[in-house]
Amino acid sequence: NAGVMQNPRHLVRRRGQEARLRCSPMKGHSHVYWYRQLPEEGLKFMVYLQKENIIDESGMPKERFSAEFPKEGPSILRIQQVVRGDSAAYFCASSHDSNSPLHFGNGTRLTVT
Amino acid sequence: QKEVEQDPGPLSVPEGAIVSLNCTYSNSAFQYFMWYRQYSRKGPELLMYTYSSGNKEDGRFTAQVDKSSKYISLFIRDSQPSDSATYLCAMRGGLTGGGNKLTFGTGTQLKVEL
């Protein structure tokens, strides 16, 4: 399966812990996007990255959230000191270039207890 | 007011029916329009990708864009139970208008009954 791979599929964290979500883009794709989906809400853009660069992080909360896409390895979305309001489905998408359609992974469902 | 409005449904139709799904939007900078299908506990799957106004057909699916009315539609012909899912509209600006950052509707839940 050459699609966008996300892991873990489910992640449970206690309040105050750190959550790390991983995303491997489709083969040949160098553009990665993170979206968050809350119940009854649509997908909300968080951040857009290319290899080693953050292009647009206008949707990222100012505190506790960070993202990276290193030269080698998957993109990581990191949430420090998680709170209950961080519980959501986090989706990663990738594209071949900045103008091509986005293809999504199956998401990581984060539950904060 | 949300930038993209989409009736959440649920919409229930009999097998074989023609389904019409719609979104309205307020941002005139949007130029690229997409429809995604999302099954429960899965990621969105791209169905249709269109640029500017007009129609695009792919099998049983037809996407329509009316930029003058800021209204987009997805039609599904000969609907099947396997079409039961949530349908998300998404859109973005041109190359210099927000890049590939998509704005989504909240999704319409569709159920096709046997």
Above pLDDT 90, what percent of chain B?
Answer: 82
Question: Does residue B7 carry a pLDDT above 90?
Answer: no
Q: Tokens for B47?
A: 């169905």
Question: Does residue B93 carry a pLDDT above 50?
Answer: yes
Average pLDDT, chain B: 92
β-pair partners for A37: A43, A89
Q: Tokens for A14?
A: 């206690």
Question: Does residue B97 carry a pLDDT above 60?
Answer: no
Cα A59 from chain centre: 12
Q: What DSSP string runs through B10-25?
A: -EEEETT--EEEEEEE
Nearest-by-CA chain B residue for A55: B99
pLDDT of residue B4: 95
Q: Binning pLDDT at 50, 70 and 90, where does residue B99 land?
A: low
pLDDT along chain A (113 residues), means of 10: 89 98 95 92 92 92 96 96 96 91 96 97
CB atoms A42 and B88 under 8 Å: yes
Per DSSP, the three-state class of A21 is: strand
β-pair partners for B57: B62
Query: Which member of A40, A101, A109 has the closest CB to residue B34?
Result: A101
The contact set of B with A (CB < 8 A) is 4, 6, 8, 34, 36, 41-46, 49, 88, 90, 95, 99-107
CB atoms A102 and B46 under 8 Å: yes
Strands across the sheet containing B4-5: B4-5, B19-25, B71-76, B61-66, B54-58
CB atoms A42 and B100 under 8 Å: no
Q: Angle CA(B50)–CA(B38)–CA(B34) in degrees, nearest 5?
A: 10
Q: Write out chain A residues lying below 8 Å of B95, CB-based.
A: 98-99
Spatial separation of the C-alpha atoms in residues A98 and A50, rounded to whole Å? 10
Query: Which member of A42, A56, A104 has the closest CB to residue B101?
Result: A56
Q: Binning pLDDT at 50, 70 and 90, where does residue B95 land?
A: low
The identity of residue B79, as a single letter, is S
Q: Tokens for A82?
A: 């998680």
Question: Does residue B11 carry a pLDDT above 90?
Answer: yes
The identity of residue A109, as a single letter, is R
Give me the mean pLDDT over the B18-24 stretch.
97
Question: Does residue B42 carry a pLDDT above 90?
Answer: yes
Give me the mean pLDDT over the B28-47 stretch.
94
pLDDT of residue B96: 58
